[in-house]
């Protein structure tokens, strides 16, 4: 477990309701695994909020940056307890923690990632780490968001799909035709074999509903990993 203070290097809009906050580690070491989280907060305040790390460890090693995908609350506040996050602000980081990680040595050659909303952050980190690591896994991503404007990392994910290193499927839960959550109709075409390692991260309802559907499609519970802190 590490504890450090790092300044914000950049704050970039990702969607209308999210921002990508990059911290400059300035040579400080923060070892973590793809998919893990950290407690973060303004260094001069007591509040600390858990956020999944959006960058991949190999990216951090190369750039010295640690990324977080922060959702703006309806009140206009950053996250749950941040009033504002500005470039140069000092952020305290504690961690990492969490067992929702990309495994280094597994028998499965097919990975299915299922993300909802800002749950894409740790999933993106896993996918990016797998690609940078040079593995030969076949990866699929089913990404669910409320509307077409709520998909984070869409240019990057689209580029991965165009290069045939990621099979990308997008699902809107709200559209002109009504509302619909991820169901068997969306999952079934993505499960070609029971020997598929699955990762699920998103709203509580999705994390609760998706694993039983994957079981129904023949995937054993031991091959289904959900974000649990």
Q: Where do the domains of the chain lie?
A: 2-96, 110-226
The model's pTM is 0.93
Q: Which of 70, 55, 52, 47 is nearest to 24 (CA)?
A: 55
The reply to whether CATH 3.40.50.80 applies to domain 110-226 is yes
d(CA 15, CA 225): 27
pLDDT, one tens digit per residue, over 110-144 is 999 999 999 999 999 999 999 998 877 899 999 99
**Interhelix angle 154-162/120-132, nearest 10 degrees:** 40
Q: What is the pLDDT of residue 82?
A: 59
- The domain 2-96 is placed in CATH, from the list 2.40.50.140, 1.10.8.60, 1.10.3720.10, 2.40.30.10, at 2.40.30.10
């Amino acid at each position: 477990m590490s504890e450090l203070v790092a300044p914000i290097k950049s704050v970039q809009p990702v969607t209308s309701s999210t921002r990508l906050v990059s911290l400059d580690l300035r040579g400080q070491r923060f070892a973590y695994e793809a998919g893990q989280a950290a407690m973060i907060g303004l260094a001069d305040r007591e509040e600390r909020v858990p956020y999944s790390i959006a960058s991949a460890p190999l990216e951090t090693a190369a750039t010295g940056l640690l990324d977080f995908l922060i959702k703006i609350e309806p009140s206009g506040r950053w996250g749950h307890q941040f009033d504002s996050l500005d470039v140069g602000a000092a952020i305290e980081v504690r961690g990492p923690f969490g067992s929702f990680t990309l495994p280094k040595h597994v028998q499965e050659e097919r990975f299915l990632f299922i993300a909802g909303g800002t749950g894409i952050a740790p999933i993106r980190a896993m996918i990016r780490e797998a690609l940078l690591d040079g593995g030969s896994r076949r990866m699929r991503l089913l990404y669910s968001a409320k509307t077409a404007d709520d998909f984070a990392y869409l240019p990057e994910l689209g580029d991965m799909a165009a290069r045939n290193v990621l099979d990308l499927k997008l699902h809107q839960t709200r559209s002109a035709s009504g509302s619909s959550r991820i169901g068997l109709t969306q999952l079934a075409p993505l499960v070609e074999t029971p020997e598929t390692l699955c990762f699920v991260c998103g709203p509580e309802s999705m994390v609760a509903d998706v694993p039983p559907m994957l079981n129904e499609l023949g995937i054993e519970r031991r091959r289904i990993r959900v974000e649990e802190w």
